[in-house]
Structure 1
Amino acid sequence: MSEHLGPYELLSRLGSGGFGEVHLALDPEGRTVAVKVLHPHVAADSAALARLAREVETMRRVGGAHIAEVLDASLEGDRPYIVTRYVQGRPLSAVPVPVADLRRLAAGLADALQAMHQAGVIHRDLKPANVIVTEGEPVVIDFGIASALDSLSVTASGAVVGTPGYLAPEVLEGRPAGMEADVFSFGATLAYAATGRQPYGQGPASAVAYRVVHHPPDLEGVPDWLEPLLRACLSTDPAKRPTAAEICDRLGVEPVAQMPSPRPMPARSRASEQDEMATREWRPGKEQYRRSVEESRARHREKVRRWWLTGSALFVALLAAAAREPLPEVSLFLLAAYSLAVVIDAGVALLSKSPYRRGRMIADLVAVAGTVGLCFGLAAWFSTFTLALFGVTALVVGIVFLLSA
């Protein structure tokens, strides 16, 4: 049985990270979303939640085809959560590397980095596990959360803010870190995608962190067109790293269009009660429409209905053709009964509000005409015995198919 959290219906657990568990969920309008429920030790830190609440509105201004946008957040109660767009795919850390279409990946990551920095958001934990690859395109998730929850109490409670090997040297050394740290993480993530190896090797976190600070990255095997950019991004001096805009320019990525300001949504905290805000629909890039779960189900039902209509038309035509010579009354009855049933279905479609009603009516009328025509054609070309054999075979195949389904 599914569980509800606020207005969201939690369907299944997708995974867990340092800050919370991620669940696949449905919003009140039936759209799929990802709900990150913060861990109890994070929820108990009022200072961290207050900081996150201040960042939520800024995070909602980040959008685009390569960003899993923040749609909603509720930071009061025993189970505070953040709602983002659900991205179906696999993390970069779980796909085959080196990545085949490296230019496409690099361009997508650069676009995401520019979108975040243009909105004033620092990811702080950009790494292969936080990049979902869907149909060859990268989508960055969990942006802004690590930066907002970077407090001593949260860190001491067990959440690791960042991953050694992808954290910039200034972060590891406890120095002030800004957007340049994300550029370093971008370079390390892209180096992994290009070579299939961790750019600073493997081993204990302390050893990897030491190599980040004191040793150059392993970029052997990185294509010539990309290596100079990665070396610049992985510079130990933040001032020598390119900005997100400069990375986009060097990769030939179009500048990120300014995102329109979202509908105001005051970040909710323990100390304040706010009105519920309905989750907005995600419309990245040029996409103008995204099917809801109910719309997808309706489309699937219509597809199944048409397959059933086609199969039943063929079966009735076979039986009617086989019975036409020895039992003409039975043949006529089969054709009439099938035609009546299909015409009734067409009438129901006419009165319904389904967006597929026109196609459904056309399919019904074509099925009736096709069944009658096929019946006479089969009767003219095949013997009664052959048609009866075909009919029995079709009946057996249909029963087996239904049982297996």
Structure 2
Amino acid sequence: MSERLGPYQLLSRLGAGGFGEVHLALDPEGRTVAVKVLHPHVAADAGALARLAREVETMRRVEGPHVAEVLDASLDGASPYLVTRYIQGRPLSVVPVPVADLRLLAAGLADALLAVHEAGVVHRDLKPANVMMTEGEPVVIDFGIASALDSLSVTASGAVVGTPGYLAPEVLEGRAAGAEADVFSFGATLAYAATGRQPYGLGPVSAVAYRVVHHEPDLEGAPEWLAPLLRECLATDPAARPTAAQICARLGVAPAPRAGRALPSLAVAPPRRRREDVHHLSTREWRPGDQHRRSVEESRARHREKVRRRWVIGSGLFVSLLAAAAWQPLPEVALFLLAGYALAVVCDAGVALFSHRPHRTARVVVDFAGIAGAAGICLGLSAVFSTFTLALFAGTALVVSVVFLLSA
């Protein structure tokens, strides 16, 4: 049974990161969103939570086709959470690399980086795991969280939270870090996608961090049009790295138009902020290039209809095979099988006619086509094949069907 968190209905757990656990959820209007519930040790740090609350207003101003925009937040109570657009896809860290369409990935990441920096936000945790690939397009998630929670960036043992090899040298050394650190992470992420290897190798965290600070990255195999830009982005000196706007210019990327929506002030200063102050921004499910996304219920209905249609067709084929096998020795049994199938399908068509479900006309057409098809196939098979051959086919089909059902 699904749980509720504030006005959101949590459907399923999508995964977990360094700062929270992500759930697929429905907003009050039934649209899908991603809800990141902060880990207890994060929620217990009042200072980090206060800084995150101050940054939420700025984070919500980041918008664009290649970022998962922050839609809502509730940072008081026992389970503080952030709400972002739900992105269907897989992280760059698990897709096959080198990436086939590297130019598309580079352009999308550059546009995302520019959108984040134009809003005055620093990501601080850009890496393959935080880049979702959907229909070939990259979408950056979790921007601003690591920057806002940097008081948690050092654990009790002194280890930096993040992925060595993607954190900039100034972050690893504890120096002041800004947008230039994101440019380094952009370069490391793109180098991984281009070569299929970690740019600073594998091994213990300390060894990788040492190579980031003191060694050159491994860019062997990177295409000639990209390698020079990667070297500049991965420069040890932050001042030597290009800006997001310069990266876009180098790649020939025209920044995507920003909607420039005016967001009402949230006044999210904890710990006494009213919960209802942050639940008025409309949310919507989104995928690149798709302006008419279906809700979860619509998707489920379409899936159920697809499964029902397959069963109508599959059971019709099986019944027609059995009836054809029985046609010569036991015609009454053959007629009984066909009549039983027809009765079941007619009942299904009747349910569709009196329901208010979409595509009911197509459902009725499929049902009656199944009846006609089963009768026609039965007559055709009985005229061409012998009873023994049809019985052998029917037995084989029965065994395969049982095995399939048991495995499913």
Deviation at 1:307?
1.7
Distance 1:348 1:266 in 2: 49
Name the CA shift for 1:373/1:265 in 2 (closer, same or farther; >3 Å): farther
Alignment of 1:311-330 (within 5 A): 311-330=314-333
Name the CA shift for 1:383/1:67 in 2 (closer, same or farther; >3 Å): same
Are the counterparts in 2 of residues 322 and 387 from structure 1 also a CA contact under 8 Å?
yes
1:41 aligns with 2:44: no
Letter in 2 for 1:11: S
Deviates further, 156-165 or 255-264: 156-165
Deviation at 1:300?
2.1
Q: In the TM superposition, what whole-angstrom CA distance separates every residue of 1:317-348 from its partner, at most 9, and x where no partner exists?
A: 23433444454444444433432332221121
Are the counterparts in 2 of residues 112 and 140 from structure 1 also a CA contact under 8 Å?
yes
Alignment of 1:4-403 (within 5 A): 4-6=4-6, 7-9=8-10, 11-12=12-13, 14-17=15-18, 19-20=19-20, 22-28=21-27, 33-87=33-87, 89-134=89-134, 136-151=136-151, 155=154, 160=160, 162-172=162-172, 176-200=176-200, 212-213=212-213, 216-261=216-261, 264=264, 266=266, 268=268, 269-275=270-276, 276-277=279-280, 280-403=283-406
Q: In the TM superposition, what whole-angstrom CA distance separates every residue of 1:218-261 from its partner, at most 9, and x where no partner exists?
A: 43443221122122223344444322122122212231211342
Distance 2:145 2:391 in 1: 68
Distance 1:271 1:27 in 2: 26
Distance 1:282 1:206 in 2: 41
Deviation at 1:271?
0.6
Distance 1:279 1:50 in 2: 24
Name the CA shift for 1:278/1:297 in 2 (closer, same or farther; >3 Å): farther
* Unmatched runs of 5 consecutive residues or more in structure 1: none
Deviation at 1:117?
1.9
Deviation at 1:399?
3.4
Deviation at 1:108?
2.3
Distance 2:209 2:380 in 1: 78
| 3-state SS, counterpart of residue 266 of structure 1 | coil
Distance 2:196 2:382 in 1: 64
Are the counterparts in 2 of residues 150 and 161 from structure 1 also a CA contact under 8 Å?
no
Distance 2:169 2:402 in 1: 66
Are the counterparts in 2 of residues 114 and 256 from structure 1 also a CA contact under 8 Å?
no
Q: TM-score, normalised by structure 1?
A: 0.84
Q: TM-score, normalised by structure 2?
A: 0.83
Distance 2:43 2:187 in 1: 32
Deviation at 1:143?
0.6
Distance 1:105 1:125 in 2: 18
Deviates further, 365-374 or 282-291: 282-291
Are the counterparts in 2 of residues 62 and 259 from structure 1 also a CA contact under 8 Å?
no
Deviation at 1:365?
1.5
Q: In the TM superposition, what whole-angstrom CA distance separates every residue of 1:76-133 from its partner, at most 9, and x where no partner exists?
A: 1122122234445554445554444433332221122122123322112212332334
Letter in 1 for 2:10: E
| 3-state SS, counterpart of residue 11 of structure 1 | strand
* Unmatched runs of 5 consecutive residues or more in structure 2: none
Name the CA shift for 1:393/1:265 in 2 (closer, same or farther; >3 Å): farther
| 3-state SS, counterpart of residue 272 of structure 1 | coil
Deviation at 1:145?
0.5
Are the counterparts in 1 of residues 200 and 218 from structure 2 also a CA contact under 8 Å?
yes
Deviation at 1:294?
2.6
| 3-state SS, counterpart of residue 315 of structure 1 | helix
| 3-state SS, counterpart of residue 225 of structure 1 | coil
Deviation at 1:387?
3.6
Are the counterparts in 2 of residues 98 and 196 from structure 1 also a CA contact under 8 Å?
yes
Are the counterparts in 2 of residues 85 and 282 from structure 1 also a CA contact under 8 Å?
yes
Aligned length, in residue pairs = 402
Name the CA shift for 1:373/1:96 in 2 (closer, same or farther; >3 Å): closer
Deviates further, 249-258 or 54-63: 54-63
| 3-state SS, counterpart of residue 123 of structure 1 | coil
Distance 2:388 2:201 in 1: 74
Distance 2:169 2:389 in 1: 80
Distance 1:315 1:211 in 2: 64
Aligned-residue RMSD, C-alpha:
3.3
Q: In the TM superposition, what whole-angstrom CA distance separates every residue of 1:243-286 from its partner, at most 9, and x where no partner exists?
A: 21221222122312113427647264431213245871222432
Name the CA shift for 1:104/1:274 in 2 (closer, same or farther; >3 Å): same
Are the counterparts in 1 of residues 86 and 285 from structure 2 also a CA contact under 8 Å?
no
Name the CA shift for 1:42/1:326 in 2 (closer, same or farther; >3 Å): closer
Are the counterparts in 1 of residues 11 and 23 from structure 2 also a CA contact under 8 Å?
yes
| 3-state SS, counterpart of residue 71 of structure 2 | strand
Distance 2:204 2:404 in 1: 55
